[in-house]
Amino acid sequence: MSAVAVLDQGVAQPGPARRDPARHDGVRNDAAWRDRRINEPTVPMQHPGRHLEATSVNGLVSDRVSPEAAEDATSLVELHETIASLLASRGEWRQAYEHLRHAFDIATADKTMPPQVPQQFRLEVARLRREHAEAREQSIRDALTASYNRRYLDQRLVEVLAEQRGGGSDGIAVALVDLDWFKSVNDTFGHLVGDRVLQQVVELLQIGLPEGGFCARYGGEEFVLLLPGVDGGTATTVAEAARARIEAYPWSQLVLGLRITVSIGVAHQPVTGGRALTNPEQQLRSADGLLYTAKQSGRNAVAYRVGGEVRLSGAPVRRPR
């Protein structure tokens, strides 16, 4: 039954003209008019959004939801569910939760809905939260190597530096890692092999990182190791261990004749008096300058500073012909 039809039930319909018994010769008899208005039955007005049938039980009026109202409530719940799914697919999670909440309210308030509906919505909310978490994880991961991406690196650098300013820490280090002669790897063995090399390098870089440390793809064949809460010596040790591990890996098992090395620049930022000395961009620039020094030394090396002096560790090699 439509809302218009329901409203029509409470409106007197036009009919044939009839003489008003409360009138006599065109003059209203007030007493008769009043008695008729008091005694005549009335039609209850019904709300269009909820079709109710009034029934008398032992002198009490009870509301019974009509089948049309139940169908309308179910349709409204399904509409909110559909909109929530559409919004979730577009990443608009807050709006999706709002529509699910409205659907949940309708389902729990309407007595015609099956009792398992609230559980359905709890499962739906759990599904949306899981998809939200997965989408968030995908947005901060590099698609090829599954390492963190530049976006996450920039975000975490700011956060970690803020945390370090609280004191009680040895500072933070970033190690900028670049694969040596990687273009020649792609040219000689193909891009599929090059992709596999990048994936394996990430696995090797992530071994033995300190608590809170992680690897992020900086771009192309460059990666960054973020090392929070460590001193300069520890940061250099971690970087040197990663360099040696990559050099020692049996790359020829992947393809005969393949050899991979990396060059690394390590920039350590101490915390003095509860205040970091530089900002994230300056630290990355410092690491990039040290990486250039490692490349100029012959590659397969780690460049770092002790005081104001630049030092190298590793085993520089000559470029293959």
Any idea which residues carry the catalytic annotation? Answer: 221
Cα 197 to the center of its chain, rounded Å: 30
- Provide the token pair at 64: 């019974």
Residues contacting 43, CB < 8 A, separation 6+: 9, 10, 12
Number of other residues whose CB lies within 10 A of the CB of residue 245:
16
Residues 169, 217: Cα–Cα separation, whole Å: 26
What's the chain's length in residues? 321
Strand pairing class (222-228; 262-269):
unpaired
Cα 107 to the center of its chain, rounded Å: 27
Q: Which H/E stretch holds residue 52?
A: strand 52-57
Alpha-carbon distances of 271 from 120, 168, 170, 230, 275, rounded to whole Å: 52, 9, 6, 11, 6
Residues 316, 312: Cα–Cα separation, whole Å: 9
